[in-house]
Structure formats: C-alpha cells, structure tokens
A = this chain, B = another copy of it.
Amino acid sequence: MSEKLKSLQQYLEKMNRFNHVANLLYWDLRTVAPKEGFERHADAMTYFSTEAFQMGTSEELGSLLAELSVPEEYEKLDDKWKFVVKKMKEDYDRDKRIPKELYERFVRAQAESEHAWEEAKNTSDYAVFAPHLKEMIALTKEITAYTDPDKEVYDALLNQYEEGMDSATIDHIFGELKKELVPLVEQILAAKEPDDSKFHGSFDVDAQAKVQKMLLDYIGFSWEKGAVGTTEHPFTLNFSSKDVRITNHYYEDMPISSMFSAIHEGGHAIFEQNVNPEYDGTIAGSCRYMGLHESQSRFYENVLGRNKNFWLPIYEKLGELLPQFKEITLDEFYREINHVRNSFIRTEADELTYCFHIIIRYEIEKAIFREGVSVEELPALWNRKMQEYLKITPANDAEGILQDMHWSGGSFGYFPSYLLGSIYDGMYLEQIEKDLGSIDTILAEGRILEITKWLNEKIHRFGSTRTPKETLSAVCGKEVTAEPIIRYFKEKYTKVYGLEK
C-alpha cells in the first residue's frame, strides 16, 4: 500500500473517532441523558463535531486527497479507495468553496431558525417562523451558488440528497403518479370506510416493545449489530455496519404506530447492517442517498409490512403479546393498516395519500426556488394545494405548513426522497417477483428472509458505492419509472376497497 494512502487512512481513523463520539453523544442525548445533563453533553457534542468538521475541511486533508488524485497514484488504488478518494475530493472541493464566514452564518441562522420553528409550531404562529424561513432560503441560495455554480439552484438541492436526480425527471414521474392517483383516491374516499374502533384503547407499552422485538427478528434485523432505544420521534443512527441503532415511540392508544415505525426504521437498519463491512469508516459505507435509503425503509414498511401475508405467519404471536389483537381478525387488521384517509399530517398518512403530501411539498419548493413565490404567500399556497389534492383545508398552520421541521434547518429538496423511495420500491417489487416468484407466496410461507437476502445482495452491500441511478440500472435494468408502483397501488387498493376496475 502506498505511503500516501496509509496517511489518508490514519487521518480518517482519527477523524472517525471524533465523529464516533459526536454521534454517540447525539444518541445518548436523545435516548438516555437526563434533562440537566443536556448542557455538558451538548457542549461536548459541539466540541467534537466542530473538531471533526475542521478535520474534514483541513488543508492537510486537502493535500492528501490531491496527492492521491494524480493519475499515477489514483490508478494504484483498489475500487473502494478509488471511490473514497474521488467522492471525498468532490465533497472537499465543494465544501471548500463555501466562504468560512458564510458557513458560520448558516450554522447560527439554522439554530435560530429551528428554535423559532418549534415555537411557531407550538403556537401555530407562522409569523414567528417567516423571517427565519426567508433567511434560510436566502442562505441556501447563497451557499448553493458557491457549491454548485453550474446548476440551477433547485436541481442542485435535489442532487445533494439524491445524486443524479433532477426536477425534469421528478416532474415526469410525479406527474404520472398524480394522473393515476387523484381519481383512485377519489374513488376510495367515496367508498365505505372501515371501522377502526377496535384499534383504540390502552395497549401496554412494554408489550409494544416486545412486538417490536418480534417484528425486527422477523424481518432480519441483527441484534449482534444493532440496538434499540426510545425517543420522541423514531430515527436510525449508525456508527458502522456493526452498530446500527433504531428508536421508537410507543403510544399507549396507537399500537399500530410503533409496529410500523419498527418495520420502517428496521428497513433503514437492515440496509446499514448489510453494507460491506470493508467500507466501514469511509464514505463508501453508510448509504448517503436519501431516496435510496427511504426505498428500503418504505419497502419493508409498505410493500412488505402492509401486505396481508406479511402478518400471516406471526399474527397469532401478535395476539399473544398484545391480547386485544386476539379479538381482531387478520382481515380487520389488514383493512386498518391500509385505511386511506385524507388527513393533514404527513407522518401519519397512509401509503397512498402520502404521495400527495410529498407532491405538495415538492411543488412548493419549486415555487420558492424557481418561481420566486414569497414566504408570505406560502401558507395560502399550502392550503390551496391541500384542497386540490386531498380536498381538505388545515384549521391552522401547525397542522399545515408548520408541521415538518425540514425547511427550518434548510433541508430544501429533501422531501422528494421519500416518494422517490416508494417509486423505486415498485420497481424492486417487479424485479423480485421475476427473480423469486410471487411475493404473496413468499410471505405466506414465512420466507421473508429470502427477500431480505435479495435486498442485501442487490442493494445493501454496495453502501454508497452505487448511486440510485446505477442501482436501478443494475438491479432492474432500467431508468426510474413510476409505472410499477402505480400498478401496485391500483391492484392493491381496488381489492382492499372492493372498487370497480
């Protein structure tokens, strides 16, 4: 191995340790640390993150990457290190173009904006958040002009979260979805609603935690390489492929919520646990593409978890853990986990109307960055779009434009990832059925781990080394298309709701 590569490895090793403890401090703050311990934890987190960030933008790292990028050095590297050096250099050069003063201004404004958003949401007062949102939009534009001078700003943002994606592609595939789903959802909402009364009441939270354990075992989560915690909002966090953690929140009166959070975060975790361990400690490990990541969590949550046969082998066990489910038939349960409602909150939406929640946000982001719609106009725009797609109008901005925190932190262009994930899922489903046969049969026969294995081999093990585009091409042999997910939605919900074809 070349001396230069050895130096880079040593450099990464040290930087990783700082990131490792910053990550751990974050995990602990969310899952364990008591209230009064917050300050010292936060102080240490700031210190170690800042140190890691400085290592990630240091002149020393820049030189190491530059030296390894000259052809005679680069050609000596193996595939993994070629990927790492190339991507790190791109990231480094891009980040380096941001003036330090601008970056610091962004970090400060972000903290203030997130804080203001919290207050605005709690009091449903958009005016509290509006000036901060304006500032985050302005700073995002300013930064993007440095990082991606050759790209249109919104396309640059999309590309940051899902490499290779652009608004022309999304316009097309979201357009197809809209065309088909608007009439489908209209038909469903006109049909008879299932009775959900059995799903209210008091469901023991310790038992819900046992259900989570059962579900994670079932889908192939590894406890040798994973752990769970409890937080306000569920998330997944990974230190390496060997230590991937998820969290959940158990609501006493909403047992289905923690089940599907477990399956969703479990999907993220199974991805990370199965990345080639040789990529650990480099940017080749841990998937950096948000749409691709969501495609895994949503595949488990929706395509598998909301299939009736997913529950067939474990439904009796569910009744043993949560006795109220003994009084609920699998058919009733299946109807409820596919209960389509025109509701206000994205994170509580069903699989189908979820698409509209994302399309609304995507269209608003385009309005902001491309059509120059002002911050003042956004709540009205939001409400018009809710009416257009879901035929409802939020009673206030807390259940409208203020519900998600993404924009407060400057994460513009992130939302489409969720729906892209579902679109990829339709494509995987089609391919899996070609490769392994009917998914209904596989699930009914309790062979779900064969699907996990397929995903491991086709997607997970590559970590970040394949872009979403490359993944789709290698796995499904084609470009992104919404056609399979549309077919899936139509077939499934026509049956669930007994609609005319």
Interface residues of A (CB under 8 A from B): 17, 20-21, 24-25, 27-28, 31-37, 39-41, 43-44, 47-48, 206, 222-227, 229, 239-240, 242-243, 245, 280
Contact = CB atoms under 8 A, between A and B. Distances in A.
Number of copies: 2
What does DSSP make chain A's interface, helix, strand, loop or mixed?
Answer: helix
Nearest to A225: B36
Contact of A36 (B24, B34, B48, B243): B243
A37 B206 contact: no
A203 to B, nearest CB: 14
A227 B37 CA distance: 10
B47 A227 contact: no
Contact of A43 (B17, B39, B44, B206): B17
Nearest to A277: B36
A46 to B, nearest CB: 10
29 contacts: A17-B47, A20-B40, A20-B41, A20-B44, A21-B21, A21-B24, A21-B44, A21-B48, A24-B24, A24-B28, A28-B28, A31-B32, A32-B32, A32-B229, A33-B243, A34-B223, A34-B224, A34-B227, A34-B242, A34-B243, A35-B224, A36-B224, A36-B242, A36-B243, A37-B240, A39-B242, A40-B239, A40-B243, A41-B239
A240 B40 contact: yes
Chain B CB within 10 A, most for which of A28, A47, A225: A28
Contacts of A37: 225, 227, 239-240, 242-243
Given A37-B239, A242-B37, A243-B37, A44 B17 contact: yes
Contacts of A239: 37, 40-41
Contacts of A222: 34
Contacts of A227: 32-34, 37
A446 B105 CA distance: 55
A37 B223 CA distance: 10
Given A35-B224, A36-B224, A37-B239, 8 more contacts: A21-B24, A32-B229, A34-B222, A34-B223, A34-B227, A34-B243, A37-B225, A40-B280
A223 B34 CA distance: 7
A361 to B, nearest CB: 34
A21 B32 contact: no
Nearest to A47: B17
Chain B CB within 10 A, most for which of A17, A36, A227: A36
A31 B224 CA distance: 14
A224 B21 CA distance: 23
Chain B CB within 10 A, most for which of A24, A37, A48, A227: A37
A280 B39 CA distance: 12
CB-CB nearest 7 A-B residue pairs = A37-B243, A36-B242, A21-B21, A206-B206, A36-B225, A35-B224, A17-B44
A408 to B, nearest CB: 27
A221 to B, nearest CB: 11
A31 B229 CA distance: 11
A170 to B, nearest CB: 37
A28 B41 CA distance: 14
A41 B17 CA distance: 9
Nearest to A207: B206
Contacts of A229: 32
Chain B CB within 10 A, most for which of A21, A206, A225, A240: A21
B28 A226 contact: no
A242 to B, nearest CB: 4
Contacts of A20: 40-41, 44
A37 B23 CA distance: 14
A225 B222 CA distance: 33
Contacts of A245: 32
A149 to B, nearest CB: 38
